Amino acid sequence: MSAGSIDGTHLTEAAVESRHIGEGEITLAHLAGEVRSADILPDGSIGADKLADGSVGSRKLAAGSVYGGHLAPEAVDSRHIRNSSITLKHLSKEVLTSELLPDGSITSKKLAEGSIGSFQLAPGSIYGGHIASEAVDSRHIRNGSITLKHLSEDTLTSELLPDGSIGPAKLAEGAVGSFQLAPGSVYGGHLAADAVESRHIQSGSITADHLAEGAVKSEMLSDGSIGSEKLAAGAVHSHHLQQESVCSEHLADGILEERHLLPEIIKLTHLAEEVRSAELLPDGSITAAKLASGSIGEEHLAEGAVGASALQDEAVDASKLASFAIQSRHLEEESVQSYHIASGAVNGDHLAHGSVGTEHLSFSPVQSAGNREVLQQFGMTAFMFNGNAESVDVTVPFDEAFGHTGYVLVAMTNQPFFHASLKSRASGEAVVTVDRLRETPHFYGVLSWIALGSPPAKPAVEHRAFD
């Protein structure tokens, strides 16, 4: 028979068996379209060396499959971080410093009222433009700090000098002339003996005032002849006044000075309403002893005046807290215990994906006798017979190892020409033998399996007592 004389027309249906096909002779071109699927490849058979560089894109990655361990050092830069996604909780304590804020970024709107005190001001930082009109009063000026250079021209007047403050030592010789003498300011004591001559006395200028004491007798004066114009300034002394003869109408406006008042003679009844103000009391003059119990109310407290040092330990109870005042930043780490959570308060929104395991369930997800905890797994594994082999061993790997080998495994194939039976069991995998009928030409298939058994024992959860 010549080479190439047998073609497809000479073969009966199912005449070609695996023994007729040489190793490596079947290529992708010989496989039908429905056979070219992921079922041909065993689970876990594609390793990293089979993947071409750049073949795994974002669409191939399952949601939440990339963890911190998958990222190379310094792999995340600014373009990977979404705007406003970094909050205070992502910053470590050593970066929470003033260097985070650009110079000049804090404006007056950011400063709380009364937050800048004397310790925050740099020496020499306050200029005239910072001081409000009439803000500086006498208590702010140090004794002896105002000199002549601080006085304006219009203040350099005689009113600066107290009455009687210029003594003889301050006057130059010949400095006082007739123009400097006030009318009536020269008395007898100022005149030297025999200094007044007749030429100095005007005609008719000698009056009763010039008469020596005792020269004018009372009998010389008619009753009621002495009027107010006859009395010299200062002639009436206290011994000339009868008791209680001086009334309020005899006192000129503004005549009373501090020297006229006895100590502690002015009572509250003497003060007008507009005088009764805080200006009467020196700064810092009211001490705790002067305050009546319960006299300070919330309207007397400045905003921010009550700090932590003013509060007694455990003084703040639940009645003092506003609704929603306690936020997550006020809670100490691990301070929320199970008894703080109200019944029914935890719902699906509070649970992280994958956070609930079988150990958290009050029931077994798979019903079993005695309500025992059951681990259930399933999967599909492809297999292929080599040549004329009548059986093939298929390894079934488990996603999670069972607690012991006493689990139950059920397996079946996708073809009626094959038969599956359990060969061996281990906690992490099982081996299933697939036999095929002699008369079938099929040499590949898919094994479907279900396994149920006891899960591995897990360590007990540590419960910390609330402290």
Is 320 inside a domain boundary? Answer: no
Q: What is the mean pLDDT of residues 202-222?
A: 75
Closest CA to 401 of 453, 459, 461: 453
Give per-residue pLDDT as tens, 320-330: 888 888 888 88
Residue 287 has pLDDT above 80, yes or no: yes
Structural domain boundaries enclosing 424: 374-453
Is 66 inside a domain boundary? Answer: no
Residue type, 241: L
pTM of the model as a whole: 0.28
Q: What is the mean pLDDT of residues 151-172?
A: 80
Q: What is the mean pLDDT of residues 56-74?
A: 85
CB 455 within 8 A of CB 358: yes
Dihedral, CA of residue 283, residue 288, residue 291 and residue 297, to nearest 10: 90
pLDDT band for position 400 (cuts 50, 70, 90)? very high
Distance CA 183, CA 171 (A): 20
Give per-residue pLDDT as tens, 440-459: 888 999 999 999 999 988 76
pLDDT band for position 212 (cuts 50, 70, 90)? confident
Element (H, E) at 429: strand 429-436
Distance CA 242, CA 239 (A): 8
Q: Which 3 state secondary structure label does DSSP give 436?
A: strand
In 237-374, which ranges are E strands?
none
* Residue 313 Cα distances to 150, 309, 317, angstroms: 54, 9, 10
Q: What is the mean pLDDT of residues 356-377?
A: 70
Higher pLDDT, 257 or 4: 257
Is 278 inside a domain boundary? Answer: no
Give per-residue pLDDT as tens, 293-344: 888 887 888 887 788 787 888 888 888 888 888 888 888 888 888 888 888 8
Residue type, 339: Y
| 33, HSE (Cβ side, Cα atoms, 13 Å) | 0
Is 229 inside a domain boundary? Answer: no
Give per-residue pLDDT as tens, 31-49: 787 777 777 778 887 887 8
Distance CA 39, CA 445 (A): 8
Distance CA 361, CA 355 (A): 12
Tokens of 81: 């971080």
**Which CATH number do you get for residue 379?**
2.60.40.2080
Residue 430 has pLDDT above 60, yes or no: yes
| 435, HSE (Cβ side, Cα atoms, 13 Å) | 6
CB 376 within 8 A of CB 451: yes
* Cβ count near 200 (within 10 Å): 9
Element (H, E) at 10: none
Is 204 inside a domain boundary? Answer: no
Residue 285 has pLDDT above 70, yes or no: yes
pLDDT band for position 434 (cuts 50, 70, 90)? very high
DSSP at 450: E
Residue 467 has pLDDT above 50, yes or no: no
Distance CA 331, CA 337 (A): 11
| 130, HSE (Cβ side, Cα atoms, 13 Å) | 5
Tokens of 9: 């027309």
Is 393 inside a domain boundary? Answer: yes
**Which residues neighbour 436 within 8 Å (Cβ) at sequence distance 6 or greater?**
385, 390, 391, 417, 418, 419, 442, 443
pLDDT at 368: 64
* Residue 203 Cα distances to 118, 191, 271, angstroms: 75, 20, 55
In this prediction, what percent of the chain has a pLDDT beyond 90? 15
Distance CA 459, CA 105 (A): 53
pLDDT at 405: 93
Q: What is the mean pLDDT of residues 69-75?
A: 87
CB 374 within 8 A of CB 366: yes
CB 383 within 8 A of CB 444: yes
CB 302 within 8 A of CB 431: no
Q: Which residues pair with 413 in a beta bridge?
A: 447
Distance CA 292, CA 289 (A): 8
Is 266 inside a domain boundary? Answer: no
Residue type, 447: L
Distance CA 306, CA 298 (A): 10
Is 391 inside a domain boundary? Answer: yes
Give per-residue pLDDT as tens, 219-238: 777 788 788 888 788 888 88
DSSP at 109: G
Strands 444-453 and 408-413: antiparallel
Tally of domains within the chain = 1
